[in-house]
Structure 1
Amino acid sequence: MKQLFFSAVLLATGSLAATAQTGWNIGDRAAFGHSWTVGNKPQDAKRQFHPTFEIGRTATYNFTDVAGIGFGTFFSSQGTSFKDENSDNRVINRANYIKVPVFASFNFGDAEQRVRPRLTIGPSVQFLVGGKTFVKTDNDAFAGLYTTKAMNTKIDVGGNASLGLNIRVFDGFYINHEINYYHGFVEQKPNNPSESPSFTNRNLTMSLGMQINSAAMKKWKGKMMKMHHNRP
């Protein structure tokens, strides 16, 4: 009887471990990297590093410990920078978006592994909400226009892909470290096409994020309530 009891306990424990990441997972993510545009490079100019960053929250529903689908909401600052080869003038196009990705998520390897490869892929729509396009001269003088006024196109649609690691810190809590690539499909048209050609967006970032699943969240809330009730 004891052997049967312990076998049942081990089986139940294994089942919990195997489904620990199923269900809803809520997380936050921050990313930093380089963005650029394709189609509007000025003549006699070189592309320069243009810092891009995004921060936001995701929700993923894992059907199994391998596959799930999710969506997110991010503030994403993108754009591009060029330097004129004949002077030190720089053209800087900063564009800020509210980005809403939808993605399929895949975790590879055994569910009991602490570190597992992770892949996400899917479409994304983003809405232009700010930024500025300006020229920085030799004397650090600025002349520019707000991006929302400079651009006729206010919406971008593209594809996202990320590859990285899913690290289990403890049951129900995970750290995600990924390389992310965004490829814009919609031609972005300025208000003055004769002065500024249209373009599409690109960016490459590295991100760090966390996820906690619904079961772990309920367990944590239960502990907090128990501690509150046990106070004198």
Structure 2
Amino acid sequence: MKKLFLALVISNGFSLVAGAQSKFSLGPNVGVGMSWLDNTPNRKTKLAGNAGLSLVYSAAEHFGIGLDAKYSFEGGKFSANNQTTTSDLNYFRIPLKAIYFFSSYGHKVRPKVFVGPSFGFLSGGQTKIESPVITQTVNSKDFYKSFDFGLTGGAGLNVRLATNTWFNADVNYLHGITDIRPTTKQHNRNLGVNIGVNFGL
């Protein structure tokens, strides 16, 4: 009887631990898209991309919290006064997302929407200024502020590949709020597609 009781306690303990662990998932995430700088004359988009890790905590069936840590290649191109400026802005970006899942845990496909703040820390990149007379290339950190704050939002799908293993795909948009230039009002804009795989912890 004691052995049976002990076996039940151990079994239930493992079940509780497994349930608690499955609330967290972590995995690699990559994306590609286009970025541009708002409030610039004759602006054009440039190729953008990112890569990093995605952590999701979901204690309720339909709600979760996501935290990404990624390296993001952004920037834009614009022209004025007979000169063209191409800015490559490389950020270490941390988006924090509130996630709503439309279907239950047991479903193979779970649509989702998300929204939240995004914190960007400028780590590098180059800015090229071209005119008919001269071409100048400078460090983007000399032209742009080191911190960027914005809002991110989007929609996508989680597809269950195996127990506690999910393939993630989403379309997301970044809307910069803070001015990224010390002297003029410019804001980051970014639209892209991200994919990744998360594993239950």
TM-score range, shorter chain: 0.7 to 0.9
Whole-angstrom CA distance in 1 between matches of 2:164 and 2:24: 10
Q: For structure 1, list consecutive stretches of 5 or more residues without a partner in the other structure.
A: 1-14, 215-232
Q: What is the Cα-based RMSD across aligned positions, in Å? A: 2.6
Asked whether the 8 Å contact 2:125–2:139 carries over to 1, the reply is yes
8 Å Cα contact 2:37/2:43 also seen in 1? no
Q: Is the 8 A contact 1:71 1:102 kept in 2?
A: yes
- 1-structure distance, mates of 2:200, 2:103: 19
SS in 2 for 1:47: coil
Q: Which has the higher helix share?
A: 1
Deviations 1:65-115 (A, max 9, x none): 32111212110111101357x98x742111111101111122212332211
C-alpha contact 1:188 1:198 (8 A) present in aligned 2: yes
2:138 & 2:103 partners in 1: Cα distance? Answer: 50
- Kept in 1, the 8 Å contact 2:143–2:181? The answer is no
Question: What SS class does the counterpart of residue 142 from structure 2 fall into?
Answer: helix
Q: Are 2:154 and 2:172, in contact at CA under 8 Å, matched by a contact in 1? A: yes
- What are the superposed Cα offsets for residues 116-170 of structure 1, whole Å, 9 maximum, x if unpaired? 211221111111110111035689x84221100122x210111111201111111
Aligned 8 A contact 1:107 1:117 in 2: yes
SS in structure 2 at match of 1:68: strand
Instruction: Give 2:8's aligned residue.
Output: none
Q: What CA distance in whole angstroms lies between the structure 2 residues aligned with 1:162 and 1:21?
A: 26
Q: Which one-letter code corresponds to 1:28 in the other structure?
A: P
Runs of 4+ in 1 over 6 A off after TM superposition: none
SS in 1 for 2:125: strand
Larger Rg: 1
CA distance in 2: counterparts of 1:138 and 1:33, whole angstroms: 30
CA distance 1:35–1:201, change in 2 (3 Å): same
Q: Are 2:159 and 2:167, in contact at CA under 8 Å, matched by a contact in 1?
A: yes
- Is 1:69 the counterpart of 2:62? The answer is no
1:164 aligns with 2:151: no
Match of 2:113 among 109, 119, 123: 119
**Using the alignment, how far apart are the partners of 2:132 and 2:32 within structure 1?**
28
Q: Which residue of 1 aligns with 2:10?
A: none
TM-score (norm 1): 0.72
Q: 1:187 offset after TM fit, Å? A: 1.1
1:145 is aligned to 2:138: yes
8 Å CA contact 1:91–1:133 kept in 2: the answer is yes
Per the alignment, do residues 21 and 49 of structure 1 end up closer, same or farther by CA in structure 2, a change over 3 Å counting? farther
Q: Which residue of structure 2 lines up, in the alignment, with residue 133 of structure 1?
A: 127
In structure 2, the gaps of 5 or more residues are: 1-14
What residue in structure 1 maps to residue 25 of structure 2? 25
Counterpart residue number, 1:201: 188
Deviation by residue 1:23-61 (Cα, 9 ceiling, x = unmatched):
1110211111011111222xxxx3323011111102111
Query: Given the alignment of the two structures, is residue 176 of structure 1 paired with residue 176 of structure 2, yes or no?
Result: no
With normalisation by structure 2, the TM-score equals 0.82
Change (3 A) 1:164 1:80: same
Q: Which residue of 2 aligns with 1:35?
A: 35
Separation in 1 of the partners of 2:84 and 2:21? 48
Structure with the higher strand share, 1 or 2: 2
Which amino acid letter does the alignment assign opposite residue 109 of structure 2? V
1:203 CA drift (Å): 0.5
**What is the DSSP-based 3-state SS (H/G/I as helix, E as strand, rest coil) of the residue aligned with 1:148?**
helix
